Amino acid sequence: MSETNRKPKLTGHEVIQGYLKTIDGSPGVYRMLDEKGAVLYVGKARNLKARVSSYARPTGHSPRIARMIRDTASMMFLTTRTETEALLLEQNLIKQLKPRYNVLLRDDKSFPNILISREHGFPQIKKHRGAKKEKGDYFGPFASAGAVNRTLNQLQKVFLLRNCSDSTFESRTRPCLLYQIKRCSGPCVDLISEDEYGALVKDAQQFLRGRTTRVQETLAAEMQEASEAMEFERAAALRDRLRALTFVQGSQSVNPAGVSEADVIALHVEGGQACVQVFFIRANQNWGNRDYYPRTGAGADVREIMQAFVGQFYDNKD
């Protein structure tokens, strides 16, 4: 009885060459798998055949890509109607499968916003994270909960908007501590009219949209009028609000020439580790920054790390 000779299973560029006969120039997503069926890499292409043919070459690859090709025992393909669809599918598969050779963004938390609710006659200002289902005006995103809290703290000093829940608001019979320390105007016990409170809300919205000069001018004019009318207590309160506004501007302003809204992304790679910093500029103000340390996909280069980071960072973001 003679033993049947088995041919060794093809891997690397030879097995990839075999797939070139089965695909065309459609956009889509490809997966490279090892001999155990584990996904090594997920990629997208405007032209699948052209992209896969680049892996079929035996030479001319970086050490990382050469290792990935060497370990490839099979491939899978999904065609899409457009390159945009391919990009979205690629990012979803990377997050789901976490392939060894892909760059992977580890932190996928949603960013906090400031919400001025419009579900009550006296709108509430508060921190919000997640789906924007509540009726109101959203401002953000901010880099962290801490950045939102610091901004809210200063905004309460300037605009005196309530942060209590609607149920707490309805049950109050006396002013709360925030009113006593001049961080709320006391709408819960009728210490301010709905129209006057609405003017404060409008000023806060103007500020959060970057129209700070108009708000400053209004406060300064009101302070001058109160002083001339010898309403010194009111003038002092307006002065404190003006100082708080100046402090907020000083701590957040970055003076970007002609840039009112942007995400500034910086990348540094050293010793196989990557650090990405994202700065949030909204309404001509710096609303904080956050650092990320993506998995670098077994030695991906700077261009691929940045491209993968941007794709995953903005996936599913409003």
Q: Which CATH number characterizes residue 18's domain?
A: 3.40.1440.10
Total domains in the fold of the chain: 3
Domain membership flag for residue 131:
yes
Domain coverage including residue 305: 261-313
Q: Which of 8-12, 168-172, 221-225 has the lowest mean pLDDT?
A: 8-12
Place of tokens 């500020």: 207
Non-local CB neighbours of 5 within 8 Å, separated by 6+ positions: none
- Judge if 95 and 123 occupy the same domain: no
Residue at 88 is within a domain: yes
Split at pLDDT 50, 70, 90, the class of 6 is very low
Identify whether residues 96 and 129 lie together within a single domain: no
In a domain, 120, yes or no: yes
pLDDT digits (tens, 9 = 90+) for 208-257: 887 777 777 888 888 888 888 888 877 887 787 777 777 666 655 555 55
For residues 93 and 123, state if they share a domain: no
Q: In this structure, is residue 5 part of a structural domain?
A: no
Q: Identify whether 49 is part of a domain.
A: yes
Residues 159, 86: Cα–Cα separation, whole Å: 47
**Do 259 and 284 contact (CB within 8 A), yes or no?**
yes
User: What's the whole-number average pLDDT of the chain?
Assistant: 84
Q: Tell me the average pLDDT across 22-39.
A: 94
For 104-161, how does the pLDDT look when each residue is reduced to its tens digit (9 = 90+)? 876 656 788 999 998 899 999 999 988 888 999 998 888 778 888 888 888 888 889 9
Q: Please, which pLDDT band fits residue 317 given cuts at 50, 70 and 90?
A: low
In a domain, 228, yes or no: no
What pLDDT band is residue 4 in, cutting at 50, 70 and 90?
very low
143: which 2 tokens?
Answer: 């880099």
Q: What is the CA radius of gyration of the chain?
A: 28
| Domain boundary pick from 252, 277, 305 | 252
Which of residues 299 and 3 earns the better pLDDT score? 299
pTM, two decimal places: 0.59
Q: Tell me the C-alpha distance between 144 and 111, whole Å.
A: 7
